[in-house]
Structure 1
Amino acid sequence: MPIAPALALMLTAASLPATQSFDLRPQSAERQRLYEKGGHGMEPGGDAQAFLFSVALPEGDYRVTVRLGDRRQAGNMTVKAEARRLMLNHVITRRGETIEHSFLVNIRTPALAPPPANAPGGDKVRIDARDAQEYTWDEKLTLEFLGRPTVQSVRIEPVTAPTVFLAGDSTVTDQYAEPAASWGQMLPAMLDDKIVVANHAKSGATLKSFLTDLRFDKLLSGMKPGDWLFIQFGHNDQKAEWPQTYADPATTYPAYLRAYMAEARRRGAHPVLVTSPERRNFDAQGKISDTLGAYAAAVRKVATEDGVPLIDLNADSRAIYEALGPEVAPTAFNDGGRDKTHHDNYGAWLMASAVAERIRAQVPDLAAHVTMPAFVPDRPPAASAVAIAPSLIRSDQRPAGN
């Protein structure tokens, strides 16, 4: 019988690493130490205003507690983890004030348990060159401190927690470099520290490629009763010019959605379906043109017929873009708005806000853990009200699948 998600954290077994603490004040030895494999230290590229700190750890879930404050100056801290997953946004400390915040981070490697002799499968996820650039598929936990750093210390301890797994494409994944960003990497900042988000989405992915790349195997290997699986595909599945991964919206696409849902349910987890955000194509009347309608409709139909919670991000994205209008909406998109599919930090925050608001309404067991203020898609906040500190890593390369 599946465990009801009690959502109270428990320390994992003693076989996992013990709690570790690090002094990260500006003149500390830890701030002068460069990271070496198997140890801990600073990653290259940082300065006094932004830096990356890594700790070698086995894959799993960890509670990170940061102690912030400075007796000489005020602070304004943003903290991201791994591939730019937003954990804390604009935490203000007054001069002389000290505060603590904690959040949960999932880390992983490509490794899979090898299949038995003569059984099909593989012993690792098929990652590509871009994946290998990320602080995701490696042997360590990486934290990025941005803004006006006043961090004093970091404490890291292993935990077991209810997990929100994300399966999807480039509009969901943890984009590794500025200015591209996706809603999945903003979602952790909108949930409390009793929930961990494990974002397995991949740029260019389809329902079929997510299986053949063994990404779904990796996701399922960490799933436990009471977890959630959010499923959002469509942008690439609809590409008939990709014959090996094309999924017809009337037949194969809903069948694959149901297969994913069945695998989650078999493990006592709860599937949640998400419609894909629309592309930013305005018609002459200032309305968003439909490019994903058949796929969004298929998701809604499966959700209704199978009694699965629905996050209708397709509808919400259209409302957001139309509220911003043709002149302002490009400011929510990658590549200075030239990219009409992928978002920047502002757009990703808006998409994640819409997802979090739908969680409140559609996923009761998870709703209590949404911490962001109420969000109304047709009244989105201005970019100046969001203003997420940019990460250190930048790239002009568009996300795969564009």
Structure 2
Amino acid sequence: MPTFSPTALLAAMLLTGGAVAQPTSPYKFDFGSGKTAPGYTAVAADAAYSPAQGYGFDFGTSVTAVDRGGKDALRSDFVTSPQPFYFSVRLPEGNYTVTLTLGDAQGPSTTMLKAESRRLLLETTPTTPGQFTTQTFTLNVKSPRISATETVGLKPRELGKLDWDDKLTLEFNGPNPCLAALEIKPAPRATTVFLAGNSTVVNQDDEPWAAWGQMLPRFLGPGVAVANHAESGLTLGSFLGSRRLQKVLSVLQPGDYLFIEFGHNDQKEKGSTDGAWQSYSERLRLFVRETKQKGGIPVILTSTSRRSFGPDGRIENSLGDFPAAARQVAQQEQVALIDLTLMTTKLYESMGPEESKKAFVHYPANTYPGQPQALADNTHFNPYGAYEIARCVVEGIKANKLGLVKFLRPTPAFDPAHPDPLTAWQWYGSPRSAVTKPDGN
């Protein structure tokens, strides 16, 4: 197999203004200080990312190279760090099959893997001395470019997001991640699940904020990629106005999916033609019909409930008629519906008024750097809450018998009335944190 050629890729990107067809050869990296496996590019511990090189350890993170010796050049050496570290590869827009070899020939390892803006790929995965695990994912790299003259209207906060840059970034986390090898191959025939939504769906860059869209990849196996085009604060109208639907439709292929969840911020629109039964319903129909016209499969999701307990310990409806309107549009347009309002209401009520705070951004002062005041947000989730809601979405995929069922990784059935106990769930935080509440209501 040809080895990775970052110089050739960079030249092609410069000649075409950044728009370049996917490479046809796999990128194969062998990490560590020992022998390099045939056909692989050696990556030493000091290989810092640069656009000219096209790959390397990124954002100032560092690793240590370990060489155990032996005949197996690929598995005899690796890189590791007691702190999270990032490895980036400059890639054009598209889907890629990413295969990693993790483990240590002589010692234990424990790895959690995320991609881009904290998309969860692999929960905490240990290996014993001499044991290796090979993990494969299909990942999406997206670009704001729509055409030679049009781009997505990004918000200022999105300009620094890993989701919108010109590379694929992997975050290696956990007590002792041991990365031996990485292979990246274009996956042009993979199915794509596009996500359209707001702050309850978006890939949140910073701890402790999270949304279900960035947890969904953990439940999907190779052959399907999640392309999350959601952004905090958006409505159906502003998603359209910032050319995000136009972007999705420009790359959507027949058989791809568009999951649509809006409502929280649409409630704030108070024009004479706004409301659940007017502009909201009309725009939902537009999203559905435009997706169908391209050969895609639209799926409507009702809004996640807010943590709005009444005196009786039950969730009070804070979403007005918007969930009912979404249900009606799904029925009229004969498309799948995932009722997150119903499932999250059941989820929060099963936890109760106090325990449910543990699924949201409720933290005492000084939990995170630069946080002098307590955080108490009843709309936005922390990673645990986002994970539980992603499990609700998975159950919705199963209930609707979507074609995506064949891509689901094996996991036990989930009942929102019996959530995973927080004590049994593990999350290693990413380096970046923020105390500013994301846009949204």
Q: Assess, with a 3 A threshold, how the Cα gap between structure 1 residues 232 and 14 changes in structure 2: closer, same or farther.
A: closer
In the TM superposition, what is the alpha-carbon distance from 1:46 to its structure 2 partner?
2.9
Contact 2:309 2:353 in 1 (8 A): yes
Q: Identify which range, 364-373 or 141-150, moves more after superposition.
A: 364-373
Letter in 2 for 1:356: V
1:313 is matched with 340
**Mapping of 1:63-74 within 5 angstroms?**
63-74=97-108
For residue 378 of structure 2, give the secondary structure of its aligned residue in structure 1.
coil
Shift, 1:357, TM fit: 0.8
Determine if the alignment matches structure 1 residue 163 to structure 2 residue 192. Answer: yes
Match of 2:162 among 135, 147, 154: 135
Q: Which amino acid aligns with 2:328?
A: K
Matching residue of 2:122: 88
Verify: 1:150 aligned to 2:178, yes or no.
yes
Moved more, 388-397 or 345-354: 388-397
Distance (Å, rounded) in 2 between the aligned partners of 1:189 and 1:137 = 20
Q: Is the 2:86–2:170 contact (alpha carbons within 8 Å) kept by the matching residues of 1?
A: yes
1:146 and 1:375 mapped to 2: Cα distance? 26
Distance 2:61 2:106 in 1: 22
Name the counterpart of 1:378.
Answer: 417
Larger radius of gyration: 2
Q: Which residue of 1 aligns with 2:253?
A: 224
**In structure 2, what is the equivalent of residue 392 of structure 1?**
431
**Equivalent position to 1:98, from 122, 132, 137:** 132
Task: Judge conservation of contact 1:25–1:153 (CA < 8 Å) in 2.
Answer: no
What's the TM-score once normalised by structure 1's chain length? 0.91
Q: Which residue of 1 aligns with 2:38?
A: none
SS of residue paired to 2:276: coil
1:233-259 CA deviation, whole Å, 9 max, x = no partner?
A: 000001036x59x84101111110000
CA RMSD of aligned residues (A): 1.9
- With over 3 angstroms needed to count, the CA separation of the structure-2 counterparts of 1:364 and 1:44, relative to structure 1, is closer
Q: Is contact 2:232–2:439 with CA below 8 Å preserved after alignment?
A: yes
State how 1:224-373 maps to structure 2 within 5 Å: 224-240=253-269, 247-336=274-363, 338-371=376-409, 372-373=411-412
Shift of 1:23: 2.4
2:28 alignment counterpart: 21
Q: Deviations over 1:209-233 (max 9, x none)?
A: 0111111111111101011110000
What SS does the corresponding residue of 1:305 show, helix, strand or coil? helix
| Cα displacement (A) at 1:341 | 0.3
**Larger deviation, residues 182-191 vs 73-82:** 73-82
Q: Residue 250 of structure 1: SS of its match in structure 2?
A: helix
1 CA distance for matches of 2:358 and 2:244? 32
CA gap of 1:25–1:303, structure 2 versus 1, over 3 A, is: same
In terms of mean alpha carbon deviation, does 329-338 or 292-301 score higher?
329-338
**Contact 1:361–1:367 under 8 Å retained in 2:** no
Inter-partner Cα distance in structure 2 for 1:31 and 1:392: 20
Secondary structure of 2:321's partner? helix
Query: Mind listing any 5+ residue stretches in structure 1 that lack a counterpart?
Result: 1-12, 115-121
Q: Which structure has greater strand proportion? A: 2
Q: Note if contact 1:30-1:41 (Cα within 8 Å) is conserved in structure 2.
A: no
- CA deviation after TM superposition for structure 1 residue 373, in Å: 1.9
The one-character-per-residue Cα deviations of 1:125-158 (angstroms, maximum 9, x if unpaired) are: 1112211121111111100000020111111111
SS, match of residue 73 in structure 1: coil
- Cα distance, 1:14 vs structure 2: 8.7
Matched, 1:186 2:215: yes
Letter in 2 for 1:343: F
Match of 1:58 among 92, 113, 116: 92
Q: Per-residue deviation at 1:17? A: 4.5
Unaligned runs of 5+ in 2: 1-19, 35-41, 63-80, 364-374
* TM-aligned CA distance change 1:45 to 1:323, over 3 Å: farther
Deviation at 1:176, TM superposition (A): 0.8
Cα contact 1:225–1:268 (8 A) shared by 2: yes
Inter-partner Cα distance in structure 1 for 2:135 and 2:32: 16
Aligned length: 381
The alpha-carbon deviation at position 15 of structure 1 amounts to 5.8
Q: Distance in 1 between matches of 2:196 and 2:31?
A: 34
**What is the CA distance between 1:335 and its match in structure 2?**
4.5
1:5-41 Cα offsets, whole Å, 9 max, x none, are xxxxxxxx99624211122348874431111124111
Aligned residues of 2:93 and 2:143 also touching (Cα < 8 A): yes
Q: What is the deviation of 1:111?
A: 1.1
Q: 1:333 to 1:111 in 2, by over 3 A?
A: same
Distance 1:335 1:24, change over 3 A: farther
